Structure 1
Amino acid sequence: MAFTDTIHITCLLISVVVIPSQGQADSSPVQATIKNLPASMVASESRPNAPSLATTESHRKLTVNDWENPEICGGCHTTQYQGWKGSMHSNAFKDPIFQAEWALAEKQIGGNIGNLCGGCHAPPGMLSQTIKFDPALGKHGGFSAPPVAEQGVSCDVCHTITGSSFQNSVVMEHGNGSYVSSPGKTKRGPLKDARSPYHDTAYSEHHTKAAFCGNCHNIFNPVNQYPLERTYDEWKYSVYAQNDVQCQDCHMVPVETAMRVADELKPARKLKDHGLAGKAAIGAQKERELTHGHGFVGGNSVITAALGDPDSRRHAQIAIKRLRSAAKLDVKLEKVRGQGLKGQDTLHNLEIKVTNLRAGHHMPTSLTFIRELWLDVEVTDQNGAPVFRSGALDSHSEVDTNATMFKSYAVDKEGNPAKYIWTVARFDRRTTIPPKGHQYGRYAFNIPAGTTELRVHTKLNYRSFSQHFVDHLLGEGKMKVPTVVMNDIETRYKIPGLAIASTTNNLTQSDAEKESNRLLEEYLGPEIAMQDINRLSRACAACHGKEGISRKDIYPNIGGQNESYLLSALRAYQSGSRNSERMNAMTKDLNDKQLQNLAAYYSAMTKAQLKKNQNRTE
């Protein structure tokens, strides 16, 4: 299970699937409203959280204070807390793409459809009904929530789940937030003999099974019940499930262990010398045979890199390592029979086999009609002259339309490309790669007469979403979507005869940190990304908070502020035209590029709490 966007963008369920092409106006009326939902999926007194399937034990009404702050959990469970901190689970609510997507859906549909998004991205906020929408935030609006809810899928969210409510779904399957929540003193988990001086404990078999993850990692349209995301189902019908390998065996262990799990098809606990024994908490009396990490890292390196803080950046590096361990490429070049008259070009067929080597679900997974996984193939001769190309990015950072893509293609009931998710009737084509399965990219091209050597350079590239998709949500230029190279091989052939002269794998696992640095560079700019981000953000956080949200009234919130305003203020402090002894000293030695990047960095932060102190000035 090396390849998944661990926290998927659930809100895509109710928003745009195919963004209008650049320069094309979106004149189609929004057809679906809350009244289109079946009665059983509309929120009511008896089903207050619909269309989410999330519910509470004995239908108890909750307040946001019923959940524990994860920092308290971290006091004893330090390893688990550090693993969770900066993860996509911890950023589930703050994720800027998710926020923009949810806001767009709120404006287009309204009603209580947002329960579906909040049920998996901010359960304490949704279940306590404390999430607020502000149409003035961001391009499409934004959401705020109390601090505990802002922390997304936190420790207490998962460890106070008592079971699943999937039997309440129309399709009788896990998904759409099909969990039962009971926050309180009792914490549930996979240990039968756990003891704690702070809280009560209870064993939960549900926490040991993939079905626990399936409560949110399956998504189906609440109008027509069509399955839009099937990460759990993909696993359920895979060879991994047949061998008792659960989601937890890959996503709660280091990448190297996950690779062994996939290669040996054994649960992590059954691996020889797995090296994961330890204590589950500080002061624990008993050492466990296996202790789980709580990073739940999948394939989303873009958001964690974009958020920029050291914890999230660490998760971006791990995500890239997982992506690079997931797939295998095999290249085969053949001359077409009957070709090859002396002095003439010769037609050749190129076949590239892509194997899902280590992902316990399809590759890609999650919302597969949004994800981009494709082959980038470049063929050149002995002098470097181009012979063939497929899969390059154009000047707008969009993938070549003729590229071999591995994805799903969504259509409406008339068979036309589905523009909105609620019009998806089915996938009329799906080229995703199942666990331990494979797909092919096949190409034909002429090799010019006189060619003596051919170089075939093949990359398997991945993006969580297209650049145009992000521009539509955040605004052009707000976030650059980098390409993660999952595999990169170069094969040289002697011509004629097609003898392989050499094969080179251009990527190693040790490149992961360099790759995550590159992603951060592309988002923030090289100076701050490579040299100053840790130092500068720590200095700013001392007064303005780690995410630009101050905890003291005397300091203004800068997270989510207008970028131009922040840059103007920083330049004013640097020049001395705006007076603050501390800020004048902080900005004195920075160059203008660093000021620009700082302004961009904090402007991109969550705007969730900005309204609290909107009128403050320093």
Structure 2
Amino acid sequence: MEQSAYGPLPIRHTFVHERGIFRFSLLSGVLIFLALTGLAMWLLPFSVPIQVSVLIHTVLGLVVVIPITLWQLSHWLATRKTRRSFRKICAYTGFWTMSVVLASGLVLTWQAMFGLFIRGFWDQVHLWSGIAAVPFIAYHVWPRAKKAMNHNDENGLNGRFVLPDFSPARRRMWRSCGFTVFGLLAVVGVLAAAYEAYAPDFSNYRLPADYKMPYGKGIFAPSMAKTVSGGPVAPQLLAGSKSCGASGCHTQIYKEWNANTHRWSSEDQAFQAVQTALIHAEGAPSARYCAGCHDPVSLLSGYKNASTSIEAPGFKEGASCVICHAMRRVDVQGNGNYVWAPAKPYLFEYAGAGRTSAITHFLIRAFPRQHDADYDLTLAKDTASCGACHKQFIDKEINHVGWVQLQNQYDDWKHGKWNTDPNPEHRLRCQQCHMYYESAPNRALADPYDLKTGLELKHRNHWFAAGNQWMPAVIDAPDAQEQTERVVHWLRGEKYIPEIANVWPKGPVLPVRIVPPLPVRPGEKAAFRTVISNNKAGHSFPSGPLDLIRAWVEVKVSDQSGRDIFHSGALLPDGHLEPGTFVLKAEGVNAEGQEIVRHDLWHYVGAKWKRAIFPGYSDMYEYKFTVPRNAKGPLTITARLRYRKANQYFMDFAYPGKHLHTPVTDLSSDRVQVPLSGHEQVQAVSSIKQRKATSLAAMPEPRPGR
């Protein structure tokens, strides 16, 4: 403490001189600014000024760490021997809480700059320690009345003296402090105004002048997709998925999404072929019917007004990251029935991948509240978010007749065994199967969200392996070979998923089983059946556009010499299936009763019949043949369930003159040997455990396959 003629004076006396006043007022002004901006970040809505405040708050917090530490240390050394008082206790409490504020602030800054996310614990510690420090420090520095101090003079006599009047110095100090605070707030305002003056403004985005609306008031009709504003959205707000995969963000998930069907839903050549034919038949605006799910970036930005979307925004992104993660509401009526809203942008978010992107990423990590709110995963975890697109119908706007239900994976799941099992622990959601947990290679590639929620390296995979093992290689999609292999393994049921292994059966998704014939002799007629069971699919199989997809059973009967004596389900050289093949498909028809085989849905008015296997159910088919008199036993019956993404009629339509074929995947198979003899009972050995043939009902005669 400073000495006077009357003894030691309080520490505040050291701030009476001009240099001390300036230093203390400057430091106090910065601390008050930090407190105000901290409260603003906590209480005020997300905005440009708040983001600027975060940046300046961080910079100034780093700048004052050393000065405030030295000041507090010197203050403590100077006053530690003074008598204990309530004011001194407040000072000590404020000192330690301020130390916690500084330490937690340093931790948060480090995590925001070099980590994947800030820890909620440190965020709360920084907030509440800062709030706690304010009253203690405020009371400690609050002016108090002048008091006379006792002092023993050198003659041993007690004396009293009155402290000097520090009011003028204190007023100068607080005046300078106020100037510091208001100066810093002005800096925030100026920087925020400058940014808003030069930042891209997407609020005035409008539809093209020649935009056509032949389907009524809805600007995106006949699609059922909507935006919160009711108007179009700038494509920059809908696309840009690459930024999600930037280093330190959702790197691994972006890599997976880049290979999946959602990413290339617009680029898909089959979709482009159908869309081109639809536009040719019904006009460019009709393409909006498909675009809500296949090409939402182009749809919601008003680009579905031309004859093609190949050069439109989002062609290479399909259902972009923000399309799914920024949906606000969905309706399981289907046909892309969702409401979408753009996220509130962080500073420089749409400036590209330059140096300013580091500021964006820092702000997202340091101030994640708005990012978490805009991309809240509550809806994405709900199966209804899948139902918005994985359920389709067509109405009179397109087919000029009326409402017809088309593919419907969502309702299949909703009413199927995987959602209605009496035991809730045996129920499965779409995400548990198609987005099974995958682990990132290392912590640097782990997803920040999942790290925060305690999943560590695990995350919901975004490969969405399903049923398209054809298109990745055709469009040369990223990770095409691996994605094709993932789809093939998925179709065959070879993927092991630990978290649902106790519920999901082992083995093929749809095992095929042969029910062998009754005892037969050479020269006699024989009959056997194939049974396909949907053991693992959460929806009917096949699923999707059933007029397009082909799943069928190929069977062969051969004798001991290897000679084929019966064959059904052969794939002919021209790519078509031989007549009489057991095919799982839907036979949609147009107004003239002709079968729809090219996915020309604008002609679709109904279906003659549909053959798909509901979850937990089976289907069967009976075959009859005559055993040749010279056949040598035992007979070998083989059956395999085969699958391809598109029938040959569609391929010849989509790729005229090229005669291309989609790859065929064998999903399951069975083999039975049947002895030929005069024994009273014939023993048959199957690769799959058999049920009694008498439990199988008779099936109708086969329809011609295509």
TM-score (norm. length: structure 1) = 0.63
Structure 1 residue 482 and structure 2 residue 660: aligned? Answer: no
1:503 corresponds, among 673, 687, 700, to 687
Conserved? CA contact 1:300–1:319, under 8 Å = yes
Superimposed CA distance per residue, residues 215-246 of structure 1 (whole angstroms, 9 cap, x where no aligned partner): 11111012112111111111111111225422
AA at the equivalent of 1:103: T
Conserved? CA contact 1:64–1:130, under 8 Å = no
Conserved? CA contact 1:279–1:288, under 8 Å = no
Conserved? CA contact 2:267–2:310, under 8 Å = no
Aligned to 1:178: 337
AA at the equivalent of 2:293: C
Superimposed CA distance per residue, residues 329-349 of structure 1 (whole angstroms, 9 cap, x where no aligned partner): 11111237xx64xxx512111
1:67 corresponds, among 213, 238, 250, to 238
Aligned to 1:209: 382
Cα shift at 1:64: 0.5
Superimposed CA distance per residue, residues 179-210 of structure 1 (whole angstroms, 9 cap, x where no aligned partner): 111022389xxxxxx97756521235322221
Structure 1 residue 330 and structure 2 residue 526: aligned? Answer: no
Structure 1 residue 389 and structure 2 residue 555: aligned? Answer: no
Aligned to 1:163: 329
Aligned to 1:436: 616
Structure having greater relative contact order (Cα 8 Å, sep ≥ 6): 1
Aligned to 1:557: none
2:239 and 2:619 map into 1 onto residues whose CA distance is 46
Superimposed CA distance per residue, residues 308-332 of structure 1 (whole angstroms, 9 cap, x where no aligned partner): 3451222111110111112111111
The residue matched to 1:143 in structure 2 has which SS?
coil
Conserved? CA contact 1:279–1:287, under 8 Å = no
> CA, structure 1 residues 283+56, in 2 after alignment: closer, same or farther (shift >3 Å)?
closer
Aligned to 1:299: 467
Structure 1 residues 272-287: aligned runs within 5 Å: 280-281=447-448, 284-287=451-454
Mark the structure with the bigger radius of gyration. 2
The residue matched to 1:72 in structure 2 has which SS?
helix
AA at the equivalent of 1:324: R
Superimposed CA distance per residue, residues 272-295 of structure 1 (whole angstroms, 9 cap, x where no aligned partner): xxxx9x953289545238621111
Structure 1 residues 213-612: aligned runs within 5 Å: 213-223=386-396, 224-242=402-420, 243=424, 244-253=427-436, 280-281=447-448, 284-288=451-455, 291-325=459-493, 326-335=509-518, 340=521, 344-412=522-590, 415-418=593-596, 420-449=600-629, 450-477=631-658, 479-496=660-677, 497-500=681-684, 503=687
Cα shift at 1:381: 0.5
Identity %: 25
1:302 and 1:196 map into 2 onto residues whose CA distance is 43
2:218 corresponds, among 47, 53, 60, to 47
Cα shift at 1:358: 0.8
Aligned to 2:98: none
The residue matched to 2:552 in structure 1 has which SS?
strand
Cα shift at 1:111: 4.4
Conserved? CA contact 1:174–1:218, under 8 Å = yes
Conserved? CA contact 1:42–1:51, under 8 Å = no
- Counting helix residues as a fraction of each chain, which structure ranks higher? 2
Cα shift at 1:502: 6.3
2:433 and 2:395 map into 1 onto residues whose CA distance is 30
Conserved? CA contact 1:160–1:186, under 8 Å = no
Conserved? CA contact 1:280–1:288, under 8 Å = no
The residue matched to 2:473 in structure 1 has which SS?
helix
> CA, structure 1 residues 412+477, in 2 after alignment: closer, same or farther (shift >3 Å)?
closer
Conserved? CA contact 1:452–1:495, under 8 Å = yes
2:224 and 2:616 map into 1 onto residues whose CA distance is 32
Cα shift at 1:152: 0.5
Cα shift at 1:174: 2.1
1:200 corresponds, among 371, 375, 389, to 371
2:377 and 2:299 map into 1 onto residues whose CA distance is 24
The residue matched to 2:539 in structure 1 has which SS?
coil
> CA, structure 1 residues 254+347, in 2 after alignment: closer, same or farther (shift >3 Å)?
farther
Conserved? CA contact 1:378–1:458, under 8 Å = yes
1:57 and 1:285 map into 2 onto residues whose CA distance is 30
Conserved? CA contact 1:78–1:281, under 8 Å = no
Conserved? CA contact 2:239–2:297, under 8 Å = no
Superimposed CA distance per residue, residues 328-377 of structure 1 (whole angstroms, 9 cap, x where no aligned partner): 111111237xx64xxx5121111111011111000001111221110001
Conserved? CA contact 2:542–2:585, under 8 Å = yes
AA at the equivalent of 1:280: D
1:282 and 1:47 map into 2 onto residues whose CA distance is 36
Conserved? CA contact 2:267–2:315, under 8 Å = no
> CA, structure 1 residues 201+98, in 2 after alignment: closer, same or farther (shift >3 Å)?
same
- For the aligned residue pairs, the C-alpha RMSD in angstroms reads 2.9
> CA, structure 1 residues 126+492, in 2 after alignment: closer, same or farther (shift >3 Å)?
same
Aligned to 1:81: 254
1:143 corresponds, among 300, 309, 312, to 309
Aligned residues: 419
> CA, structure 1 residues 197+232, in 2 after alignment: closer, same or farther (shift >3 Å)?
same
Conserved? CA contact 1:162–1:204, under 8 Å = no
> CA, structure 1 residues 206+160, in 2 after alignment: closer, same or farther (shift >3 Å)?
same
Deviates more, 1:287-296 or 1:452-461: 287-296
Superimposed CA distance per residue, residues 413-471 of structure 1 (whole angstroms, 9 cap, x where no aligned partner): 66553575334332221210001111002101112234211111211001111123112
2:612 and 2:335 map into 1 onto residues whose CA distance is 22
Conserved? CA contact 2:613–2:619, under 8 Å = yes
> CA, structure 1 residues 372+418, in 2 after alignment: closer, same or farther (shift >3 Å)?
closer
